[in-house]
Structure 1
Amino acid sequence: MRRREFLFLLGGAAAVWPLRAHAQQPKRIPRLCFLTFDPGTLHSRSPRFDPFFDGLRDLGYVDGRTIAIDYLSADRQGERFPALATQCVGLNADIIAVSTTPAAQAAKNATRTIPIVMIAVGDPVGAGLVDSLAQPGGNITGLSLMVPEAAAKRLALLKEAVPGIARVLVLSYLADPIGPLQVKALRDAAASLGLTLQIRDVRTGDDLPAAFEAAAKERAEGVLTGAESLFVVYGGRVAELAGRYRLPAIYPFTAQVVEAGGLMAYDTSIADLYRRAATYVDRILKGAKPSDLPIQQPTSFQFVVNLKTAKTLGFTFPPGLLAIADQVVE
């Protein structure tokens, strides 16, 4: 072989080798960072998040194969969210999903470019996360729970359940921006219902016994809990203390009645919202802009009562209230 021909072939091979090497590089999969208040990991997570992750799976997103999921838990410590949000940015996340308002705020402060999906937060407009529901603007969109309005409705239902009630213990996690928004809505509703509210700021589960003890001394006659994530985590503890002090209580999550033995609850279908949030992740990963996706709200609410718990408390539901219950646990 002539020297010129050999050099030509060698040069051609050198040009082909990088192309083949490049072609063999594995395709990069998108990275989702999930921020939550609840303890656990992706594989030991709270069951309440199953509809979201099941929804992703149904859309073709499988961790480690078609998507990389970083599940970052604040482990009941809301002050950890800023560091976790910064960690998401450092991981080069393509999208961030958040399950609580403090997580959404931390993510918004950490990045103005990475899309953020709220899988169901209390009041994104009231909390200053977005400009409006129809046109969120910026890099945040997702689902809203209409929490302040629902809190006022719960107070009215508690009054209907206990017509002679005058003093209500309100458990709130005021470090969460949705806490003060609920308290304001409750104060407005209490004025028209003739109720006095005993507001107790709860920061950890250890604060709950003292809150109930103080309420008993102030002759509270009923209990209402906020819809902050802290009361999801400690819902069973609240139900236990309400039973010990024999106080009728209303909760923001049906599971606290059906599973934890609470007396009654008024909420929307959280599972439905979480499933819908998965479609937002899908649309954004396929090119949609968060600012172009209106924030969706609940389309229906449900009222659930627990007759077994009522019997334990020596409590009787008014017939008219039982008649409007969507679900009765016996």
Structure 2
Amino acid sequence: MKAVLMTAAGDPEVLQVRQIENPAVPVGDTELLVRLRAAGVNPIDTKLRKRGTFYPDKMPAILGCDGAGVIEAVGAGVTRFGVGDEVYFCYGGLGDRYGNYAEYIVVEERYVARKPTSLSFAEAAAAPLVLITAWESLYDRGRLEAGRKVLIHAGAGGVGHVAIQLAKLQGAEVCTTVGSQDKAEFVRQLGADQIIFYKETDFVQAALDWTNGEGVDLAFDTVGGKTFYKTVPAVQVYGDLITILEPDPALGNLKTARNRNLRISLELMLTPMLQGLVSAQIHQGKILEECARLIDQGKLKIHLSNTFPLEQAAEAHRLLETGSTTGKISLIIN
């Protein structure tokens, strides 16, 4: 099969198209052989490419956590799927097993959900990681309820644009940060109630003004770095601050957060895959099932801004690393 191999850690040029052996027909009871039609491109892919995978002794690697395609074979114990089913999932691509920058992949059944019928394969492949991340952050970590006020950083980004929609579906009010007028219009169409141009405006003061000086009930940090620490005073006392990046203690401290009794949550949707947590893997599969239902009902959208053929994975990485994209990027696998 054709695959994009990461031959070493480094610049996008380390992604090389190669012909390798097809994966075997599933030998495990609960495995699926999927003919991939598209793969999502995520920031985790570019980070692993630059610094090395979680398993540096297993090289070369095939990156790509997100995939969508058609099942070609199933294990004897598979109960939920059959040959010909169209599916999407977040599985592989961390270095210990092949990822989705390829023509085929073998996937455990519990990770998989049926592809939303209203989405193309490219759109579906762009969705799993950001859907699970936003869902776990707002619903599982943040326990978001109707009537709450939420600050979402980088609302036009991959995770951010899904988070706005999930927050609105829960009945929350949303303010979000953006960097341009085009992105402001984009998040407005998603339902954002208040838009903050972070390059021109102090987002903390803007959030306090929006909440009559109290601060938001929940802040969702998808940016990291200094933004995490700067967000603390924008959250009300006893509020929630959730981040998908690891806080850097060199950039700030949690004294103000402690004084405000904030509940701080760290979200890494890769944990079930990295630690082999079966019940959490099943939960993530169910999140994708529920999101597929919402998508097909027209209540949730995935914005796919750019597609590239599989052979141009390096170009997709270059674009993502500019930090200027809206929504998601996918690789088309013909």
TM-score clears 0.5:
no
Greater fraction strand: 2
Which structure is higher in helix share? 1
Q: If the TM-score is normalised by the length of the shorter chain, which range does it land in?
A: 0.3 to 0.5
TM-score, normalised to structure 1, is 0.37
What's the TM-score, normalizing by structure 2?
Answer: 0.37
